[in-house]
Amino acid sequence: MTGCSSIFADIPSRLPAELCQTLHAAPTARIERIVSRGHASAPDDWYDQAEDEWVIVLQGRARLAFADRAVLEMRAGDYLLIPAHCRHRVDWTDPDTETVWLAIHLESKSTSV
């Protein structure tokens, strides 16, 4: 067993692009730390992932937009499960502070063999 790490450690002071780091990967799951500061997806750029994605905002604020036109405001502590192939995008993140996300990508039961 190795020592523990902090999800808030080693965040660069400058973030010209959103930071996405894989913390752990396994055959059926991947855990990522995502750090945003005023970043958003391009207006016509939608995520359409083959995996389910469970995501929580640990710090900061963000807004997710969904292809069905729903918009969801998220604050620290808010989480949700985004089913596989649910088209979504990051509409806005707080430009004044880091928004730290934890995303867990899980093999979707509908895509497993």
Percent helix, strand, coil in the chain, to 5, is 0, 50, 50
Q: How far apart are CA 64 and CA 80, in angstroms?
A: 11
CATH dotted code for 34-106 = 2.60.120.10
Handedness of CA 5, 8, 13, 15 (dihedral sign): positive
Token representation of residue 79: 């989480």
Contact 61, 78 (CB under 8 A): no
**What confidence tens digit (pLDDT) does each residue in 46-94 have?**
999 999 999 999 999 999 999 999 999 999 999 999 999 999 999 999 9
Token representation of residue 84: 């596989």
Looking at the DSSP bridge assignments, the partners of residue 26 are 29
Split at pLDDT 50, 70, 90, the class of 1 is low
**What confidence tens digit (pLDDT) does each residue in 95-113 have?**
999 999 999 999 987 654 4
Extents of the domains making up the chain: 34-106
